[in-house]
Amino acid sequence: MNAIKHIIAVASGKGGVGKSTTAVNLALALRALGSRVGLLDADIYGPSQQLMLGIAEGVRPEQQGGEYLLPLEAHGLKTMSMGYLVNERTPMVWRGPMAGGALAQMLEQTLWGELDYLVIDMPPGTGDIQLTLTQKASVSGAVIVTTPQDIALLDAQKGIEMFRKVDVPILGVVENMAVHICSQCGHQEHIFGEHGGERIAREYGVPLLASLPLALSIREQTDGGRPTVVAEPDSPVAALYMEAARGLQAALEARGDGAVRQFPEIRISDD
């Protein structure tokens, strides 16, 4: 892991806001900008990156030395997911510590090689997985994904506050489903509210990296295993993801963060 320059957590306070779609397209956009990028699907209970990357069920990562895993490559990304290790119908009926242990193993026992960015698709919420990540590696920053809806913004605030409590900087906000454009007449409608991502970004003094439309093509392309950035690289939506990736790079450069550092092991004794 010392060969990884930046670990980026893509997180949300609640599910269903397009976090995984954002994570994979953001990783692909960073790759398109010439960076070496890995993608870790840390949603132990509901991994989705295998489908979004078009990796067939049953494809398993190779082992090395009986201890390490070799990441699967897709669209130029080095990837790892619990979806590669279990059957798609296998429910992960695990308590929090077991899920945290699975994340630690995928993070530390995958031979990532030299990477400029490791993008981590986090599960929704503020629980064990998030705490495990902050304990196991120095995270360069987090990207918060939300919709403009007031309920989603409340949960996004909780996610931001959680990362602030563990000293992980917020690099920016991505607003999904900002506007729906009718494919028949071109009428624009803000189904989930308006300017919600902008408000929360302004409140916390972080950039709004992108405001993405509610578009059928985004869903179809990720379900088909070819996310927008690779399926339609010249489209307006892909341009928004590229803009978000550039904004992310600018935020990291402004911080001047270096390579990932492992946290020391903490021991408690009676002395």
151: CATH: 3.40.50.300
How open is the CA angle 147-210-180, to the nearest 5 degrees?
55
What pLDDT sits at residue 270? 52
106: in domain = no
166: in domain = yes
139: in domain = yes
What pLDDT sits at residue 258? 45
Q: What is the pLDDT along the chain (271 residues), one digit of tens a residue?
A: 789 999 999 999 888 899 999 999 999 999 999 999 999 999 888 889 999 999 998 899 999 988 899 999 999 999 999 889 877 767 666 676 787 888 888 999 999 999 999 999 998 876 778 878 887 888 999 999 999 999 899 999 999 999 998 899 999 999 999 998 887 887 888 888 888 899 999 999 999 999 999 999 999 999 999 999 999 999 999 999 999 999 999 999 988 754 444 433 434 445 4
Print the domain residue range for 12: 4-42+115-255
Residues 245, 124: Cα–Cα separation, whole Å:
21
What pLDDT sits at residue 127? 73
Question: Nearest to residue 178, comparing CAs of 198, 160, 158?
Answer: 198
Contact 117, 77 (CB under 8 A): no
Strands 63-64 and 170-175, sheet pairing: unpaired
96: in domain = no
Question: Nearest to residue 174, comparing CAs of 186, 159, 189?
Answer: 159
How open is the CA angle 208-156-204, to the nearest 5 degrees?
50
What pLDDT sits at residue 231? 96
Contact 227, 22 (CB under 8 A): no
**How many domains does one find in the chain?**
1
Question: pTM for the full model?
Answer: 0.89
What pLDDT sits at residue 98? 81
92: in domain = no
175: in domain = yes
156: in domain = yes
